[in-house]
Amino acid sequence: MTTTNSIKKFVLGIQKDCVEALLPPESGLNASGQSVIPKAIINNTRGYIERIAHEANGCYDNGWYDACAIMLRRLLETLIIETFESKGIASKIKDGNGDFYYLSDLIRLTLAEPSWNLSRNSKSALPKLKDIGDKSAHNRRFLAVRNDIDKILSSVRIVVQELVYLAGLK
């Protein structure tokens, strides 16, 4: 005779099996493509940098363009911080409490930093990359489309590669 408890136990067992079989792994999956950030640029840098880049690529490949723009913004912020830290000058991008400044200030300070000489392309691209990420993250009426990301792809590649090298990650 089937009881309520045995049915409940059976259903919960199926539910657990489905979660384990159908969901991606806890730490996520690597993107299958490299539509936004070439793997060659970020491979063997830092695990969290690789993860952010995979997520940006995966978002683009799945048509989640706002999410892609936000991940690019996060990658940009991370690489700027990595660059300052690698030069031993992270204090220049922290407030009195030891917290890192917001991205607008990070970009301003990156552009003004005399410890390196950013390329002309990176200098002009940094504000554009921040802008699309800001719109996707903070403008409730803005919805990024593929063309928004496509327009910045060459800038993404240039800035990411330059910051990876300046941070000494490659």
Check residue 122 and give its pLDDT: 97
- Three-class SS state of 100: strand
Instruction: Give me the residues paired with residue 94 across strands.
Output: 100
Which position has the token pair 């299958």?
32
Which two three-digit tokens encode residue 107?
């970009």
12-34 as b/e, with b when 16 or more CB fall inside 10 Å? eeeeeeeeeeeeeeeeeeebeeb
Check residue 15 and give its pLDDT: 82
Which position has the token pair 């840098």?
45
User: pTM for this one?
Assistant: 0.86
Check residue 1 and give its pLDDT: 56
Check residue 20 and give its pLDDT: 74
Check residue 3 and give its pLDDT: 82
Check residue 62 and give its pLDDT: 94
Per-residue pLDDT of the chain (170 residues; tens, 9 = 90+): 568 888 888 888 888 877 777 777 777 777 888 999 999 999 999 999 999 999 999 999 999 999 999 999 999 999 999 999 999 999 999 999 999 999 999 999 999 999 999 999 999 999 999 999 999 999 999 999 999 999 999 999 999 999 999 999 99
